Amino acid sequence: MLRKTNPRKRNLLIFALLSAGLSQAYAQQQVKGAVQNEKGEFLPGVSVKAIQVNGSQRVTTSTNSRGLFQFQNLVEHAGYQFVFSAVGFQSDTLSGYVVEARKPLSLSVKLQQSSVKLDEVVIGYGRVSRKDVTSSITTVKAEDANVGVFTSPAQMLQGKVAGLTISTNNSNPNATPSISLRGASTLRSGEAMEPYYVIDGVPGASLALVAPDDIASIDVLRDASATAIYGSKAANGVIIVTTKRGKSGQTSINYNGYLAIDKVAKHYKMMNAAQYRSYVNDNGFSMEPTDDLGADTNWERAVERIGISNNHNISILGGGDQTQYSISLNTIKNNGVIKGTDMGRQIARAFLQTKALNNRLTASFNINASITKQHDVLALNDGLSVYDAMYYYLPVSPIKNTDGSWFEKSDRSQYANPLSLIEENTNFSKNKVIQAHAKLGYEILNGLTYNMDLSLQNRQFNNAQYYSSLSMAARNQNGKSIRAAVEDERRVMEMNLRYEKTFAGKHKLSALAGYSWEENNNNDGFQLTTSDYYNDDLSYYNPGMANVVDLLGFGNYYLSTLRMISVYGRVNYAYNSKYLLQATVRRDGSSAFGTNNRWATFPSVSAAWRLSDESFIREMGIFDDLKLRAGYGVSGNSLGFDAFTAQSVQGASSKFFDYVSAAGLISPLRTLQVLRNSNPNLKWETTSMVNLGMDFSVLSNRLTGSLEVYKKKTSDLIYDYQVSQSKYIYPVLTANVGEIENRGIELTMNAKAIDKQFFKWNTGLVVSHNTNKVASIANEQFTKDYIELSDLGGAGQSNLFQQRLTPGAPIGQFYTWEWAGYNDKGISIFYVHDSKTGGRTGETTTTPQKKDQVVTGSPQPKLTLGWSNDLSYKNLSLTGMFQGSFGQKILNATRARHSNVVGNAGQKNVLASVLETERMTDINAHYLSDRYLENGSFLRLAYVTLAYHIPVKNIPVKNLRVYATMNNVFVLTKYKGIDPEVGLGGLTPGIDNRQTYPRTRTFMFGLNFNL
């Protein structure tokens, strides 16, 4: 029996029914009992751990389907404590008992539902209780994430996390969203601008390995005191993805599937044939007779289709006391609304975890694989883009001639039939990713655990392109083929010691010390470019049939081997969960940087004070929870580098010379040249951040939220600078120059607005404001007044840039001409500016110059928000999400391009609206000026989902749910383009320039259930 050695103020019940009727059957049981929730319902799958006091035995079991549990073979005359834990419930502990033989006792425990969404959050290399968090961390559970046809888990977070900006500027199934956290903090693009991803403890894992249906939760580490544990990869924040795993005592087969229908939400209204003929004839323009063959072709409709997508996800989760497992298979097929664009992906995941050596050893292994196949259409410059041609091609021309050939005007510059661009050009990609991950954990002593993680990820990318003999993109080449194959490999080893101990019931201490080794072998591949085929029958499958091999077409694929070694540590201390402290440090060494600067240290410290535990706050009777947080940390940015960034590189040039051998034979050889200067002093970009936060809960936890204020500063920015060839061999040097600052405030609020028995309404609001500023782009060695970006071209605008990086201004600041109206001839005029002062001279001109460009706006939003609502009545639920962005400007270069009423007349189509907005004498109508700088603010109802949980009886199906979702329901905006959600990532945000895939409205119908 369990004899109390210390009195307990807890309800312990003896189950007479269990003891009297079943005493013989349970003769060997020493402890048995049941676990219930607050309503008295028995809870299955609750983990129950028996821990021997002053001993080594630790035994874990779980409640069965009836909520019952039992223990056998516990050490007699030994003290024990029993820990009860379950997801969604507060953990409970019974302690102070000694096991005695032949006197079993049954226990009854009622677990209280957790007042927060998740009791623990992932902080990197471990978890911490939500109430003990000292940093800025946001957790999004799968059931609270966005709903839609998603090809990237990041899309599930749009509008859900304060400070996290996710811009999906089109509905191309092959596109990836641009992501930034608390503002851009680098001058490099791609991976260098995005957060760092950790999936199930594997740093840097590919998102292609995770299906949205397999995700249990996503933790976003937002400030540097949280991200510094990842050191040189965490300058842009860290996103930690946790997938669903099997639980003890539970086995389930789960299915989730949907069918989605996509339709273009909005079109550009181009002129139809009748409007175009009137526009040409009424204004004295002319059109070549060979253009107007009496057709009335809507080229937008001709290249579009109804996009049909489907997704199916099957998973098996389960396990026993010692072993848990999970297996899942996901397949998705997403057909875009533009013909020739589609994406298909299959993902398989398998996980197994078991315990041994008296539960002190935990070993797990998982293997994940994905295959992604994509078809895309041409989106090149010089008019060789389907997304451009579908608007500019003349409506008076047919798709095909009477003989069945494509209607083309090969003598016209930047002009190609959009249907022929789709049908006569093939662009197919296949991406295979496989990852294996093994983890071993051994509890050396009570509270002291050694962990080892080993992971291997291999990625193989293959691309095949074929331009037929009729292709306008490969004229007179009799067919052209491009084949490329690239392989990346990533190996990571992590080892750490973790210690956790609670002293005197109030002092909670945890410490972590670890070592990390990582090697990346990237860009190991080649390319073959061939042309002049006998026919197009074999497409790209047999390049050996070509007559011409392009000696300059082997691609820029060079094996790049990068290694990184790190040591790290973290200490967390909590006194009675009232006074909290966390300190971390990481030391990273990387071969990507110069020989003089390959090591850097990234420290952080944060603290919190739970004011609600103080008597003077409790006596106010306002706050259920109130916590103040403060943190400072430093992190780095080593993402997006290859092994040659700081090295001197020599390679083959594009020039050949005739080499004459001793025998007099002549053969062409390529010359060698220097391609990159070395910079032994190249070092890390370093981001430091100060974060102040307040977490609060009022009205009996009906209203919870957090308020954050931060300042982020990135120094030693890496950029390419022009240098003198009297000192350097190559005219460009990659160097550390400049600083960027971001300041912001963020508010997150969640409310149980209505919490009745049958009707509930939960609502959440996320509001963020960030101010971005380029502090400097020069130092003692490199001097620049500004860096020009965004050369968008256009007639009369060659070599003119529309954005600048300027000290004191945000990234992407627009620098354009100022429109001043029309002169007496009906031609657009622009303000003249003084070349020295930059101010207006009072004059206007029809031929503006580069000196006349001035600051005209910023693409950086002043405010972003997400507003989610979840309403339920019995088994019926309605959820929705509003997303908005306010205060940013968009340069609508697409509208400018299609407003060239004089230059396009008789040559290309124009917007139907130009009959009201433009003067037919305006030869400058298309000039990029502040006239085309538009208000990009918008509020979008991102999705609405109506779901019904079908009550089922007498069949094994559980949680049967059907739902219907509409994405992109409506958008409120003054923007005149197709959609105001223009990309906000990179160095050139806020640009809408003719390469825009249409935004769609999606209708989804789905089903999920468990067996």
Query: How far from the centroid of its chain's Cα atoms is residue 576's Cα?
Result: 37
Contact criterion met (CB below 8 Å) for 601 and 589: no
Query: How far from the centroid of its chain's Cα atoms is residue 228's Cα?
Result: 20
**What's the pLDDT score for residue 384?**
94
CA distance 657 to 699: 82
Amino acid at 293: L
Whole-Å CA distances, 537 to 31, 91, 508, 543: 76, 67, 72, 12
> What is the residue whose two structure tokens read 């996503």?
218
Pick out the chain residues at pLDDT < 50. Answer: 1-28, 115-118
CA distance 165 to 566: 30
Structure tokens at 124: 């990197």
Q: Could you report the per-residue pLDDT of 503-514, keeping only the tens digit for each?
A: 887 899 999 999
CA distance 844 to 829: 6
Amino acid at 793: G
Q: Which helix (H) or strand (E) holds 303?
A: helix 299-303
CB neighbours (10 Å) of residue 569?
A: 16
Pick from 300, 306, 325: which is nearest to 315 by CA? 325
Alpha-helix residue ranges (DSSP H) falling in 182-272: 224-227
CA distance 39 to 88: 15
CA distance 223 to 966: 34
SS3 of 895, please?
Answer: helix
- E strands, 504-597, where? 507-531, 548-549, 560-575, 579-590
SS3 of 281, please?
Answer: helix
What is the per-residue DSSP string for 100-126? -TT--EEEEEEPPBPSSS-SEEE-SSS
What is the per-residue DSSP string for 693-724? EEEEEETTTTEEEEEEEEEEEEES-EEEEE--
CA atoms within 13 A on the CB side of 522: 13
Contact criterion met (CB below 8 Å) for 480 and 528: no
Cα Rg of the chain (Å, integer): 32
Name the DSSP class of 98: E
pTM of the model as a whole = 0.85
CA distance 828 to 911: 18
Whole-Å CA distances, 597 to 559, 679, 736, 871: 23, 10, 11, 55
Pick from 335, 327, 434, 345: which is nearest to 152 by CA? 345
Q: Calculate ∠ Cα 199-205-209, nearest 5°.
A: 80
Whole-Å CA distances, 30 to 21, 25, 33, 250, 321: 16, 12, 10, 24, 18
What is the per-residue DSSP string for 136-199? -EEEEEGGGS--S--SSGGGGGTTTSTTEEEE-----TT---EEEESS---S--GGGGS-EEEE
Residue 256, class by beta-carbon neighbours within 10 Å (0-12 exposed, 13-18 middle, 19+ buried)?
Answer: buried
In this structure, are strands 196-199 and 238-243 parallel, antiparallel, or unpaired? parallel
SS3 of 333, please?
Answer: strand
- As a whole number, the mean pLDDT across the chain is 89
CA distance 870 to 765: 12
**What's the pLDDT score for residue 536?**
94
Structure tokens at 977: 């383009």
Amino acid at 112: Q
CA distance 471 to 490: 39
Name the DSSP class of 273: H
CA distance 607 to 600: 24
How many helices (H) and strands (E) in the chain? 9, 54
CA distance 923 to 902: 5
**What's the pLDDT score for residue 564?**
95
CB neighbours (10 Å) of residue 334?
A: 24
CA distance 49 to 88: 18
Backbone φ and ψ of 458, nearest 5°: -125, 130
CA distance 20 to 18: 6
